[in-house]
Every structure is written in structure tokens, then in C-alpha cells.
């Protein structure tokens, strides 16, 4: 069956999601995330595209991009290709890093624009990684509060702040309040529901455990620590697996998983 053509945005703005192949992690360290941001900076030179918001999660990335003097597909292919080369060389691996085709949707309406930026910034909160959007380091949220951070030089904040107010100080205050509000009824592209095999699910759990510094998932003492709780929450968010399946893969009781997820209302 032929692929559907991408819907062209009249405004030039798009919500883009890049995800790891087979839901595998595309970032294994903070240095990997720094490198991805550097690549964004490199590839947007000369007005090839404009970046309004981003959020880097362990196995996927959300971007809000405006086309510049290059079409969307060209920009994303250059970003993904350069990062994949870096990642494969660093970790001595071969094969596809990203899912074959990135996902995108046009962004037109003003209310949809600011809701999308909120959605992107709230990804880590929904994943149970942080309590507030301001606590997460690897998103563009802080770029709207201050442009002193070198990382924030790649983010074009004028569009969003201008929607809130012409007065920048007032705009920032209103932006902060809006970013913390509960999401509305808008629906955005996100991780697709896919059925993983049991082996794939177990392998992903071990990989994510390493990300939290957990080398021995059988260690009973580890399962009492905050890192274990954070792992379970993130694994649930990334995979959408049932409590029963997670308990089996993690080697703990269903009650234990349920209790951990309930801490953030994720049960």
C-alpha cells in the first residue's frame, strides 16, 4: 500500500515526532542529548528551518518546526541522518536508529499552536520523570524564560510569547502559567501503540534500567530505591504495557507496580 502524502501546512509550521526504531532508546546519556541539540543548531543555519519548541525523551523527540528555505523532509532527514551516524559510531552499532518515516502534522490555528507547545513541554511530566515542566532540562521550556542559556539560541520564541502579550515580561508570566495547566481536548501525534514481543519488552526494560544506573534488575535492594520507581513509571509511559505485563518483566508483584504508578496517578 502506497504511503499517504504529508499534509502541507499553510502556515509552514509542523509538529514533528522522531522515534527510535522498535521503540529503542535514541539517547543513552546527557552527552547524546547535547549532541542532538548541536545538530539542530548546525542544520538550521542560513534559515533552513526555524525551531519553536522541542523535547528530548529517551526514545523519541518532539519538535515544532517552521519550514525555511528547505522543505520539512529535507531538514528532518539531515538532522536524523547526522545524529544516527554519530550514535552508531559512538556505540559501535549498525542498522536503523530511527523509525523509517518520521511523523508530522500541520499546525495552523493559534490556539492549537500554544496547546501544542504545552503538550511538548509536558511530555516529561506525563512520563513521571518530573513534577513540573520547569524541572526538565531537555526541553525548550527554559528558553522562553531566559535566552542566556547557549542551548536556547536555537529556539525562536517570538511567535509563542507574542500570542500571550506584546509586553515580553507579561508574556513570560502568562506563558509559565499556561504551561503548568492541565491539557485541553486537543489530540497530537505521539508514540504509536505497537505490540512488542515478550523478548523485545524485556530487552527494552534492561536497556532503560541501565539508563537509570540499574545494572542488576534482580537486586532486591535496588527495587526499594527512587531509581527503580522512576524506571517503572517511565517504562509504563514509553510502552503502554499493562501492570500485569510490567510486573512479569520486572520480576515484582502487580501490587508493587500498581503502587508505584499510583504515586503519580498513572495506574
* pLDDT tens, residue by residue, 42-69: 999 888 999 999 999 989 999 999 999 9
Residue 160: burial class (beta carbons within 10 Å; 0-12, 13-18, 19+): buried
Among 251, 255, 173, 164, smallest CA distance to 216 is for 251
Q: Which three cell numbers stand for residue 145?
A: 524564560
pLDDT at 200 > cutoff 80: no
pLDDT of residue 44: 92
Average pLDDT over residues 96-112: 85
Q: What is the mean pLDDT of the chain?
A: 85
Q: Is the CA virtual torsion 24, 256, 126, 267 positive or negative?
A: positive
Q: What is the structure's pLDDT at 186?
A: 56
Mean pLDDT on 223-249: 84
Query: In the prediction, which pLDDT does 266 show?
Result: 45
Would you say residue 239 has pLDDT above 80? Answer: no
pTM here? 0.71
Amino acid at each position: 500500500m502506497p504511503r499517504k502524502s504529508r499534509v502541507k501546512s499553510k502556515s509552514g509550521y509542523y509538529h514533528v515526532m522522531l522515534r527510535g526504531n522498535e521503540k529503542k532508546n535514541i539517547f543513552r546519556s546527557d552527552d547524546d542529548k547535547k549532541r542532538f541539540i548541536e545538530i539542530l543548531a548546525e542544520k538550521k543555519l542560513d534559515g533552513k528551518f526555524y525551531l519553536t519548541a522541542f523535547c528530548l525523551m529517551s526514545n523519541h523527540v518532539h519538535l515544532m518546526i517552521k519550514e525555511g528555505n528547505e522543505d520539512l523532509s529535507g531538514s528532518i532527514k539531515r538532522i536524523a541522518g547526522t545524529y544516527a551516524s554519530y550514535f552508531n559510531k559512538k556505540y559501535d552499532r549498525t542498522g536503523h536508529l530511527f523509525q523509517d518515516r518520521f511523523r508530522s502534522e500541520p499546525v495552523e490555528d493559534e490556539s492549537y499552536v500554544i496547546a501544542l507547545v504545552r503538550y511538548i513541554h509536558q511530555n516529561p511530566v506525563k512520563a513521571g520523570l518530573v513534577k513540573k515542566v520547569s524541572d526538565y532540562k531537555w526541553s525548550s521550556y527554559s528558553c522562553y524564560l531566559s535566552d542566556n542559556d547557549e542551548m536556547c539560541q536555537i529556539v525562536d520564541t517570538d511567535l509563542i510569547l507574542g500570542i500571550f502579550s506584546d509586553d515580553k515580561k507579561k508574556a513570560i508570566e502568562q506563558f509559565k502559567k499556561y504551561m503548568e495547566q492541565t491539557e485541553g481536548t486537543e489530540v497530537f501525534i505521539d508514540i504509536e501503540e505497537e505490540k512488542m514481543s515478550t523478548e523485545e519488552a524485556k530487552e527494552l526494560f534492561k536497556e532503560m534500567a541501565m539508563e537509570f544506573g540499574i545494572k542488576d534488575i534482580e537486586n532486591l535492594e535496588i527495587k526499594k530505591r527512587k531509581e527503580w520507581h522512576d524506571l517503572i513509571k517511565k517504562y509504563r509511559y514509553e510502552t503502554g504495557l499493562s501492570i500485569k505485563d510490567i510486573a512479569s518483566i520486572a520480576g515484582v508483584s502487580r501490587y508493587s507496580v500498581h503502587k508505584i504508578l499510583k504515586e503519580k496517578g498513572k495506574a
